[in-house]
Amino acid sequence: MGNAYAKTMLNIEKPRIALLSNGTEDKKGNVLTQEAFKLLKQTELNFVGNMEAREIISGDYDVVVSDGFSGNIALKSLEGAVLSLMSLIKAEIMTNLKTKIAGSMLKKNFNNIARKMDYNKLGGAPFLGVEKIVIKSHGTSKAESIYGSIMQVVNMHKNNLVSNLTNELPLKTEQTE
């Protein structure tokens, strides 16, 4: 489903898919992760192997597969790390006149970085595998995030996401029902 989503919504022809684990080696992870690795390896997807959470925003992967618990921890850790880093940078810039002047010259650059890292602009996370378009917004969502979630729904509808997901998945057989 992540593969179909990346193709449909991100226009990526052959998405690079990685499995979130505690190491890049094939045998890393708990039983669930190891079994998922084996199954992903057997598919025709562009599965590139395990990845560690620190690589999530590296740009090396288009789809990250994880269980809900680990994925949620990874995302919230990343959000917290970005917020902490931005606060540290701001505090450091405000330490004296020289750094304040330098900071003012780089303000546009810092604002660009902050804008790129702001999860509020994106909206929410899509629930894939259901027959309708569903977005789960962050529990602390503000108006901007809700607007982003609504725009996600509009774009998913325009791009026929549900139909494309259905077409990408193998047909049900009597054995899988």
List, for residues 14-72, the tens digit of each pLDDT value: 999 999 999 999 999 999 999 999 999 999 999 999 999 999 989 999 999 999 899 98
40 close to 64: Cβ distance less than 8 angstroms? no
- pLDDT the model gives residue 11: 94
How would you label 138-162 residue by residue, b for 16+ Cβ within 10 Å and e otherwise? beebeeebbebbeebbeebeeeebb
Instruction: Give the count of alpha carbons within 13 A of 158, CB side only.
Output: 7
Per-residue pLDDT tens digits for 79-119: 899 889 989 999 999 999 999 999 999 999 988 988 887 77
51 close to 78: Cβ distance less than 8 angstroms? no
Q: Give the model's confidence band at 120: pLDDT under 50 very low, under 70 low, under 90 confident, else very high.
A: confident
Q: What is the pTM of this model?
A: 0.81
Name which of 65, 76, 70, 75 is nearest 43 in CA terms. 65
- pLDDT the model gives residue 114: 83
* CA max distance for the chain: 72
- pLDDT the model gives residue 119: 75
CA 70 – CA 104 distance, rounded (Å): 39
Residue 124's beta-bridge partner residues? 137
β strands within 52-132, DSSP E? 63-65, 124-126
- pLDDT the model gives residue 121: 79
Per-residue pLDDT tens digits for 130-177: 889 999 988 888 899 999 999 999 999 999 999 988 888 765 544 544
